[in-house]
Structure 1
Amino acid sequence: MTQRQPVLFVPHGGGPWPFMQGFGPPGMWDGLRSFLEGIEASLPAPPKAFLVVSAHWETERPTVDADPAPGMLFDYYGFPEHTYRLSYPAPGAPQLAARVRALLGEAGIACDEARGRGFDHGVFVPMMLIHPRAETPVLQMSLQKGASVARHIEIGRALAPLREEGVLIIGSGLSYHNLREFFSGDEAPRASARSFDDWLTQTLLVEDCDARDRRLGEWLDAPGARASHPTPEHLEPLFVIAGAAGQDRGRQVFHGEFWSKSVSGFAFG
């Protein structure tokens, strides 16, 4: 009998962080590494497939990569040469891609199909820690560029039946993503990150999913929101996850500080 999977929003960190020495203060990444490496053991059953919504892929309409053997897309710059020779040879999931397109179609949401793009680092970096054996199919899905919070929640809601089919849905982003301020030691960005992280955690703890989704729809008015996210793409995977969560209440399953900026991960179910 297939066991229902939770849904997760995970921080994917900065660039190829697990595969470099000296990127950030000593020990800064240890908590995130432990969290990601422990996800599989925390699940009710091994997933039949992973569906990863990456902050690093935005398209005019939701799009799934139906390639049966995705390659690698090294969409980061200026890092050591060896980080451009990483490999994550997990199989793709063409059948799951077709199922996703069908579910979205039933909800009146047009979904496109792509091939040949490859796993971007919003996918392969966390997945190399979550599922290092790379045996289980992985399907990457894009965000809808410029879409509202409500639209991304609607997309997630359409995908919710996959949970009953043994698919682990992961949103890969960051709860703080202001590249201009990330490395700043000033107090103002630290305070903004803390304030927004606190607001986000409290929002996802709300038991009534309609009230939670309304609060998410007003995220730009939250304390520290605009300073934490000058652009929304690293938060938008969370909106998809919230939609797929349905009635499940969220909980904070990871909290850390990257260059003194608060960053969290969340689970539902």
Structure 2
Amino acid sequence: MTEHPARLPTYFISHGGGPWPWMAEMAEPMATLAASLRRVSAEAAAGGMLPRAVLCISGHWEAPVFTAQAAARPGMVFDYHGFPEHTYRIRYPAPGAPALAQRVQDLLQGAGIAAAQDTGRGYDHGTFAPLAVMYPQAEVPVIQLSLKAGYDPAEHLAAGRALAPLRDEGVLIVGSGLSFHNLRLRGPGAQAPSAAFDAWLHETLESGTPAERSARLLQWSQAPAARIAHPQEDHLLPLMVALGSAEGEKATTVYHEVMAWTGWTVSSWRFGSPQAR
């Protein structure tokens, strides 16, 4: 891939719940999140240019090795339950990017990291829900990258480091998860643990040296309320890839709120500088 006019930042976003952009009763309380996602797409416009593609690391896909979605026209994965019938007919028609999938595999393997491609995988809601807000015209090609089974944070940081050259090639790297993801805990009981873990994330990401930041993240499970915030860390590990791709760069909060309907404190971050418009 060719160079892009500017190095793109990377992002870790809290992607919201299920098919929320298509449900008025969910979209309204998530208006602050939606506004933040629109700002992300604006920030990632290098000199007014859209990214050449988006590489989304979704907390909803894991595989035995890091696996790049390689379909030219990915389908849809409705990995949620109990929602209205119309939310199982959603289509996010962004084209895939098979050449980018090959580039991702090559970069990972070049760093000694096992990697594969999957031509059958569709877009899950960790990708299509936030991107439908960021790029509603679906004009930017998109591919997903899986998490690696085992959830080793060091392996996900290393994958991010390997993928860093994509930032100079016009590829927007987005880690899509949630800074708090305990679906069994909502309401008043969620407030204290989610606030404690969120505060630790802000301190970890925004203070200290890059080396200290990465070292703290490797020990994330020792943070306050860590296993309450993430009984399973699938929604946290996309952060590791996004940060690894911009490991030496500043973290900036791009979204933060206490969600009234869940009691969760949630945040999103940018790594690196926004693009000039």
Give the structure-2-normalised TM-score. Answer: 0.92
Deviation digits for residues 122-154 of structure 1 (CA, Å, limit 9, x no counterpart): 000001001111111101110001131111000
Check 1:147–1:231 CA distance in 2 against 1; reply closer, same or farther (3 A cut): closer
Q: Measure how far apart 1:21 and its partner are.
A: 2.6
3-state DSSP class of the match of 1:22?
helix
Segment drifting more, 38-47 vs 134-143: 38-47
3-state DSSP class of the match of 2:71?
coil
Aligned to 1:97: 101
The amino acid of 1:29's aligned partner reads M
Instruction: Find out whether 1:145 has 2:149 as its counterpart.
Output: yes
Contact 1:192 1:228 in 2 (8 A): yes
Deviation digits for residues 95-135 of structure 1 (CA, Å, limit 9, x no counterpart): 00111111001100010110122100000000100111111
Contact 1:157 1:244 in 2 (8 A): yes
Contact 1:3 1:44 in 2 (8 A): no
Instruction: Find out whether 1:230 has 2:231 as its counterpart.
Output: yes
The amino acid of 1:186's aligned partner reads P
Deviation digits for residues 159-185 of structure 1 (CA, Å, limit 9, x no counterpart): 00000111100000000000110x3x2
Query: For residues 123 and 93 of structure 1, what CA distance do their matches in structure 2 show?
Result: 15
Deviation digits for residues 23-44 of structure 1 (CA, Å, limit 9, x no counterpart): 39xx421100111122222224
Q: Measure how far apart 1:246 and its partner are.
A: 2.2
Contact 1:143 1:237 in 2 (8 A): yes
Contact 1:4 1:44 in 2 (8 A): no
Contact 1:207 1:249 in 2 (8 A): no
3-state DSSP class of the match of 2:212?
helix
Aligned to 1:82: 86
Deviation digits for residues 231-257 of structure 1 (CA, Å, limit 9, x no counterpart): 010000001111101210211110022
- Structural RMSD (CA): 1.3
Query: For residues 149 and 164 of structure 2, what CA distance do their matches in structure 1 show?
Result: 21
Query: For residues 214 and 97 of structure 1, what CA distance do their matches in structure 2 show?
Result: 29
Which of 36, 49, 52 is the aligned partner of 2:53? 49
- 1:139-218 matches, within 5 Å, as 139-181=143-185, 183=186, 185-187=187-189, 189-218=190-219
3-state DSSP class of the match of 1:38?
helix
Question: Structure 2: which 5+ runs fail to align?
Answer: 273-277
3-state DSSP class of the match of 2:175?
strand
The amino acid of 1:197's aligned partner reads D
Q: Measure how far apart 1:207 and its partner are.
A: 4.6
Aligned to 2:15: 12
Aligned to 1:244: 245
3-state DSSP class of the match of 2:234?
coil
Query: For residues 75 and 9 of structure 2, what CA distance do their matches in structure 1 show?
Result: 27
The amino acid of 1:20's aligned partner reads M
Instruction: Find out whether 1:127 has 2:128 as its counterpart.
Output: no
Displaced runs of 4 or more, over 4 A: none
Count of aligned residue pairs for this structure pair: 264
Query: For residues 166 and 60 of structure 2, what CA distance do their matches in structure 1 show?
Result: 22
Aligned to 1:108: 112
Contact 2:10 2:271 in 1 (8 A): yes
Query: For residues 232 and 210 of structure 2, what CA distance do their matches in structure 1 show?
Result: 25
Query: For residues 62 and 232 of structure 1, what CA distance do their matches in structure 2 show?
Result: 16
Which of 7, 21, 25 is the aligned partner of 2:24? 21
3-state DSSP class of the match of 2:270?
strand
Query: For residues 49 and 193 of structure 1, what CA distance do their matches in structure 2 show?
Result: 33
Identical pairs, percent: 48
Aligned to 2:74: 70
3-state DSSP class of the match of 1:87?
coil
Question: Structure 1: which 5+ runs fail to align?
Answer: none
